[in-house]
Amino acid sequence: MNREMYDLAGWAIKTAKAAGADDCRVSISSDRFVEIGYRQRKPETIKEARQKGLSISIYANGRYSSQNTSDLRREALKDFLSRAVATTKLLAEDPYRTLPDPKYYEGRPDIDLGIRDAGYETLTAEGRHAMVKTIEDACLTKGGAKAISVTASQHDSYAESVVLTSNGFEGYRESTVFWAGAEMTVQGEGDRRPNGYHFVASVRKDGIGSPEKVGTIAAERTLDLLGARKIDTETLPVIIENRNVSRILRGLLSAMYGRSIQQKQSFLADKKSEKIASGRLTLIDNPLIVGGLGSRLYDGDGFAAKKRVMIEAGVLKDFFVDWYYSRKLEWEPTTGGPSNLVIPPGKRSVKEIMKDLGRGVFVTGFIGGNSNSTTGDSSVGIIGRLFEDGEPTQAVAEMNIAGNHLEFWPKLAEVANDPWPYSSMRTPSLVFTDVVVSGV
């Protein structure tokens, strides 16, 4: 626990209450990030920033506001807090805005989530630049004469926060995040210039792996786009690559929030305990994964973190309902949003699955598109590769997949064994049958 931040947060609560607040929640955070980017073997981006701030949620006379300041001098804060309370009292009443019942703070796990790299402070400018140069060199080497341009980059950050409430919540968090990767443009046929990328992320520096591998994969994925063209509209099996599953999954998740349900903007509002997907789909929200990018001991309301099965064998089991919308809906709260989302992996590789399917499309990226949380209708552009006789053949582009989530997810036929490790969404590749892939 950072004693200085903790003491300041406690003082802010006392000061706000003395100014007329009934209750309040104070968060003090300190962040640092460094970003390095290279293009054409020269530095293009060099950024470093540190920031510290206080955020306070005020509950006064049935009214609510949330306000922020970066001036943490107590003399300045006293004036800020006084004005914040006075301003809050001028707002319209909202009887649903209160601090949570303290019983939801109880049961917090006493574990080390491993989300802070102890070696963060030993990172050097030379080491950061060397990493980016290595990524760029590997990308250009693999791209060869086809390479037009490469932008390689790395980002690392450290964050520390203290959260206190006037009704007994205390929270402290330290975390680090690292990401690295490259974007590449290559010369295609005529005036075509396909653009691809590859990025990895982890809470630990060693979790992003070899910089050479990062750059090489970025080039390979870009070169795979050469010669991409439409195919005729066809109903085919589709395999959505692990790293891209999150794109379609977000369309389903958008209808699982308390806010969407309360605002009549959820196509899943009345589907709890019903089958909404194939029995192959199980979705778990697990905030307690050691080293997870979304891991946490408590959520935004201060609720103790716990593992939840959101969808089990295709049956919708739960929603993401925070304290505020639980009161509006008169439901039991769960948590305001996902932490680490996990689809348990299957037993077979994508290559093995392709052999059985024979012909289909392996989707390696999405372009544009939209998903309507009210109706469930969705439409996305896709890029990828056609595979025939179980082997990848031509690159595919300028194609589209459209439909409704309640019709699409029941087509899930298999889950591969390759969960994507560089995201808070740990999703394997997913296999869907009888999907209409159309030209646009």
pLDDT tens digit sequence for 215-268: 999 999 999 999 999 988 999 999 999 999 999 999 999 999 999 999 999 999
pLDDT of residue 209: 95
Name the DSSP letter for residue 347: S
In the predicted model, what is the mean pLDDT of residues 39-54? 95
- In degrees, to the nearest 5, what angle opens at C-alpha 38 toward C-alphas 35 and 40? 170
pLDDT of residue 403: 94
pLDDT of residue 440: 59
pLDDT at 11 over 80: yes
Please state, rounded to an integer, the average pLDDT across all residues of the chain. 96
**How far is Cα of residue 387 from the mean position of the Cα atoms in its chain?**
30
pLDDT tens track for 272-331: 999 999 999 999 999 999 999 999 999 999 999 999 999 999 999 999 999 999 999 999
pLDDT at 187 over 70: yes
**Residue in the block written with tokens 């920033």:** 49
pLDDT tens track for 397-420: 989 999 999 999 999 999 999 999
pLDDT of residue 436: 93
Q: Is 20 left (phi over 0), alpha (psi -120 to 50) or beta?
A: left
pLDDT of residue 189: 85
| H or E, element range at 329 | helix 323-329
pLDDT tens track for 48-89: 999 999 999 999 999 999 999 999 999 999 999 999 999 999
Looking from the CA of 60 toward its CB, the CA atoms found within 13 Å total: 24
Name the DSSP letter for residue 229: B
pLDDT of residue 439: 80
DSSP assignment of 405-435:
HHHHGGGEEEE-S----SSSEE---EEEEEE
Task: Assign 192 a pLDDT band (cuts: 50, 70, 90).
Answer: confident
pLDDT of residue 65: 97
Q: Which domains does the chain have, with CATH numbers?
A: 3-33+44-105 (3.30.2290.10), 118-223 (3.30.2290.10), 234-438 (no CATH)
| Tokens of residue 110, six digits | 């006493």
In the predicted model, what is the mean pLDDT of residues 175-186? 97
Tell me how far apart the alpha carbons of residues 313 and 411 are, in angstroms, rounded to a whole number: 13
pLDDT tens track for 323-364: 999 999 999 999 999 999 999 999 999 999 999 998 999 999
Task: Assign 188 a pLDDT band (cuts: 50, 70, 90).
Answer: confident
Tell me how far apart the alpha carbons of residues 430 and 282 are, in angstroms, rounded to a whole number: 12
pLDDT of residue 191: 85
Give the closest residue to 156 by CA, choosing from 259, 332, 35, 301: 35
In the predicted model, what is the mean pLDDT of residues 375-402? 93
Tell me the whole-structure pTM to 2 decimals.
0.95
User: How large a percentage of the chain has pLDDT more than 70?
Assistant: 100
